[in-house]
Structure 1
Amino acid sequence: MKFAVIGGTGLIGSQVVRNLNAAGHEAVPHSQSTGVDVISGQGLEEAVAGADAVVNLTNSPTFDEASPAFFRTSMDNLLAAAHKGGVGHFVILSIVGVDQVPELDYYRAKLLQEELLAAGPLPYSIVRATQFMEFMDAVLSWTADGDTVRLPATPIQPIAAKDVASEVTQVAAGAPLGGIRNIAGPEIFSLDELGRITLSRKGDKRTVVIDPTAGMFAAIKGDVLTDKNAHLAPTRYTDWLA
């Protein structure tokens, strides 16, 4: 099969391209660096021409109120190009619980992306993943203040990027789901606990304190970012840290 991987040079996309090619498929990465622009539409028709499936792993450059416009424009352009090119399967990566957090602009934007795909003209698959292990350093930096890191006790089920890429690869190479597959890491932590584990393993002496108002995850209510019934990935967080 031939795959056009849009956003194919990023954290997940580059691994999906590698996985698909290693499995004997032809996967071509596309991004701004290769002359493809999902907002202007430049290079899109050429990128998807002859592809059996499109895997869209592009992301908004911001997480604020500008993000819905990015996903609306990029999806409109990509769906039009893929439909014109006769693509038979369109895959996106989204977030577990994305429909449960209307307080966050970015989550509303990702839900909009899902809705545009589901209402579009192509057979599709949506892979929803829990929070990436690779993002934990960024999460810690958001609310760091001297020797203290403030974090809410939000339940988190971290998943390794390599496991996300593996699941996206499998879904992309299979028949369209016509729906959603949830994937998650094998363990659930509170975010403050995850912060303490991370700092301890790195030899970082800063103290984590619980602050229910701190950072983006303060808007999350309950355990909506976890899913015990998801397809569970194998990599545990402490093994990933090691």
Structure 2
Amino acid sequence: MKFAVIGGTGLIGSKVVQLLNEAGHEAVPHALSTGVDVLTGQGVDAALAGADVVVNLTNSPTFDEASPAFFQTSMDNLLAAAGRAGTGHFVILSIIGVDQVPTDYYRAKTLQEDLLKAGPIPYSIVRAAQFMEFVDAVLSWTADDETVRLPRTPLQPVAAADVAATVADVAAGTPLNGVLDLAGPEVYPLDELGRITLAARGDSRTVTTDDAAGMFAVVPGDVLTAKDGARIAPTHYADWLK
């Protein structure tokens, strides 16, 4: 099969392209750097021409109130082009619990899902837990030279390599016309995850539990963890840290 991987040069996209090509498919990466602009529509029709499957891994450049406009415009352009190309499967990557978190970015990702579900093209949505690769960035949001303040929000981090493998697997399969959740094998309170990460890095800063700190402070309960029916990835956080 032929795959158009939009956002195919990024952390997940580059791995998805590699995995699909290794499996004998033809996966072509597309991004701004290859002349494809999902906001203006430039290069989109050419990128999707002849593609059996579109995998959209593009992301908003901001996490604020501007993010819904990015997903509205990009999905409008991609879905229209996929319809013209006769594409039979449209795949996106989303976030576990995305529709239950009251932030601009999570609302924007929920909008992206809703646009795909409402369209005429058979689809699959992979909702992944927070990437292990992003934990350092999360710690930096509420850190100073001595302290990192983190809430006790439960997370179930997953390795980017496992996310890419699942996206590639789903993209090569029959459209789900639904959602597959993906998470790592362990649940950690975010403050504990911070302590484990700093210790592994040899970082002497102290983690202070603060349930009002950072973006994840507004997350209700355990909505960012896997529920029944989720796929559990194999990579443990301790092994990933090594």
Which band: TM-score by shorter chain?
A: over 0.9
1:78 positional shift = 0.1
Compute the TM-score of the two structures, normalised by the length of structure 1. Answer: 0.99
Query: Match for residue 170 of structure 1?
Result: 169
SS state at 2:185 partner = coil
Q: Distance in 2 between matches of 1:127 and 1:162?
A: 14
Residue 198 of structure 2 is aligned to residue 199 of structure 1: yes
Query: Match for residue 190 of structure 1?
Result: 189
Query: Match for residue 54 of structure 2?
Result: 54
SS state at 1:8 partner = coil
Query: Match for residue 10 of structure 1?
Result: 10
Query: Match for residue 217 of structure 1?
Result: 216
The amino acid that maps onto 2:36 is V
Q: Which runs of 4+ in 1 moved over 6 A?
A: none
Compute the TM-score of the two structures, normalised by the length of structure 2. Answer: 0.99
Query: Match for residue 24 of structure 1?
Result: 24
1:121 positional shift = 1.5
Query: Match for residue 34 of structure 1?
Result: 34
SS state at 2:19 partner = helix
Alignment of 1:1-242 (within 5 A): 1-101=1-101, 103-229=102-228, 230-242=230-242
SS state at 1:144 partner = coil
The amino acid that maps onto 1:115 is D
SS state at 2:134 partner = helix
Q: Deviations for 1:91-116, whole angstroms, at most 9, x for unmatched residues?
A: 00000000111x20000000000000
Q: Distance in 2 between matches of 1:11 and 1:194?
A: 22
SS state at 1:145 partner = coil
The amino acid that maps onto 1:26 is E
1:146 positional shift = 1.9
Q: Distance in 2 between matches of 1:31 and 1:142?
A: 28
1:20 positional shift = 0.1
1:210 positional shift = 0.4
SS state at 2:91 partner = strand
1:145 positional shift = 1.6
> Matched residue pairs, number?
241
Identity of aligned residues (%): 73
1:228 positional shift = 4.1
SS state at 2:226 partner = coil
Gaps of 5+ in 2: none
The amino acid that maps onto 1:96 is I
Q: Distance in 2 between matches of 1:214 and 1:177?
A: 37
Q: Deviations for 1:59-82, whole angstroms, at most 9, x for unmatched residues?
A: 000000000000000000000000
Q: Distance in 1 between matches of 2:198 and 2:84?
A: 50
The amino acid that maps onto 1:147 is E
SS state at 1:81 partner = helix
Gaps of 5+ in 1: none
Q: Distance in 1 between matches of 2:95 and 2:237?
A: 19
1:234 positional shift = 0.1
